[in-house]
Amino acid sequence: MVILGRISGLFGVKGWVRVFSYTEPRQSILEYAEWMLRRNGDWTAVQVAEARLHGKSVIVRLDGIVDRDAAAAYIGADLGVQRDKLPQQEQGRYYWADLEGLAVVHRDGRRLGTVAHLLATGANDVLVVQGEREILIPFVLDTVILDVDLAAGVINVDWEWD
């Protein structure tokens, strides 16, 4: 399962909710008609009845949810899709979910740790690597990120830190 966003709040009184989308651009989350919704650790399939952009926000109404009280029960729920439903990435592009958990190895062979998560900074994404200490490594291909080997579970880097 790949988490694409979460329900962050209510919108109106007819069962609509605000969705905080992790996709880029944010409205790409609307390309999936069926989402998986995680509440209390359990995943359930849900259908999107209606959806649209509202200013900078994504708002949706899930099938069967027609009032504010019913929608309120979903606040904080994660929204995801099965990994095989995502489009294939082109060479040199990666889903964050595929990078999380990979080992990070310096060009000299030292294991720096494991990718805990990533941050979006605007200029470039940043790997948050947990090892002896936390290291932030910019995800800049061919200069800092030398190689990403998903099959081997390793990211090779050329990065010096203080």
Looking at residue 59, its pLDDT comes to: 96
> For 26-55, what is the mean pLDDT?
90
Checking if the pLDDT of 161 tops 80, the result is no
Looking at residue 162, its pLDDT comes to: 60
Task: Compute the distance between CA of residue 108 and CA of residue 154 in angstroms, rounded to an integer.
Answer: 14
What domains sit in the chain, N to C, each tagged with a CATH number? 2-85 (2.40.30.60), 96-157 (2.30.30.240)
Looking at residue 121, its pLDDT comes to: 83
Task: Compute the distance between CA of residue 91 and CA of residue 2 in angstroms, rounded to an integer.
Answer: 20
